[in-house]
Amino acid sequence: MTRHPLFGVLLAMAGALVLTPDTLLMRWSGMGGFAMLAWRGLLMGSVLLLLWPLTGRSGWSQLPMLARPAGIGVILCHATNATLFALGIAVAPVPIVLLTVATVPVFAAVFGRLLLGERTSAATWITMVAVLAGIAIAVTGRGAEGGAGHPLLGAAAGFGVAAAMALNFVLLRRNRQVPIQPAMGLGALLAGLVGLSLAGLPAMGDGAVWAIAVTGAVILPMSFLSLSIAARHTSATNVSLLLLLETVLGPVWVWLGADEPLTGAMILGGAIVVGALALYLLREGRR
């Protein structure tokens, strides 16, 4: 079954679809950014580390790689990703954060150039300009401030998430011996501990704990494991394309379930961002 040409594509699609209601559940939890970070990080990290002996293929012999610069870098990338995403969703409209997070492929091309010497094509720069224009429209358009608060802070957090994820991909491509699942689990735990120390134990019970527990213990491990396994059976371009499902469907879930408005500027800017990235990724896939 795993050798069928469609296996990787279908698994990546499943992982992306599982991820789409993540931000809605974060809204339903009603928690502050640091409390969400603590729950999500601690639960996701614990689940990944507990499941790793059953699902990991890298073996115990590769664990020492986690103490080397590449392994530490991957762990820190995951911790940064988890931290900025939770804080961004807490302070900004969901569409703004998800649109900026979708720029991962562009950041990956830039880091590939800087760290691996890979050529940055003219199409990459054109896509970057188009994406930045779309995000500028979404952030500065009339009514952008009517969501969860501060669109500029959300955009900054989203760009930070995208940069951390892209750097993580480049580090893993350059250092293939780093075991992904324990590195991801340790990064999530680190972020969770930071969130717990800043939120404090009393804040951990504020809001709907069940909602944030579903994201940390079910949605995040299932989606990231599915996407990681899918990357072994299909191209990174296919995985990146399917991840755009979260960018498109995530804001719709929040609009339907949490009554967070989708402004015309957000829709127009989002269409530009998703369209530019889709064309870019399809072009890279053909190459």
The four Cα atoms 189, 195, 197, 201 give a dihedral, to 10 degrees, of -100
Q: What is the pLDDT of residue 143?
A: 52
| pTM metric for this prediction | 0.83
Q: What is the pLDDT of residue 146?
A: 46
C-alpha 45: how far from chain center: 15
pLDDT along the chain (287 residues), means of 10: 67 88 93 93 93 68 80 92 93 88 82 76 80 80 55 90 86 79 91 93 90 94 82 68 81 86 81 83 70
Rounded-to-integer distance, Cα 105 and Cα 232, Å:
18
C-alpha 19: how far from chain center: 9
Alpha helices in the chain (DSSP H): 7-19, 22-29, 33-55, 69-91, 94-101, 104-116, 122-140, 151-174, 180-199, 209-214, 220-230, 236-258, 264-286
Q: What is the pLDDT of residue 57?
A: 56
Residue 273 near residue 102 (C-beta atoms within 8 A): yes
Sign of CA dihedral 285, 242, 139, 33: negative
Give the three-state DSSP class for 234: coil
Burial tier of 27 (Cβ tally within 10 Å: 0-12, 13-18, 19+): buried
Rounded-to-integer distance, Cα 51 and Cα 78, Å:
18
Q: What is the pLDDT of residue 18?
A: 93
Q: What is the pLDDT of residue 5?
A: 62
Residue 192: closest CA among 213, 222, 163 = 213
Output the DSSP codes for 170-217.
HHHHH-TTS-HHHHHHHHHHHHHHHHHHHH-GGGGGSS-HHHHHHIII
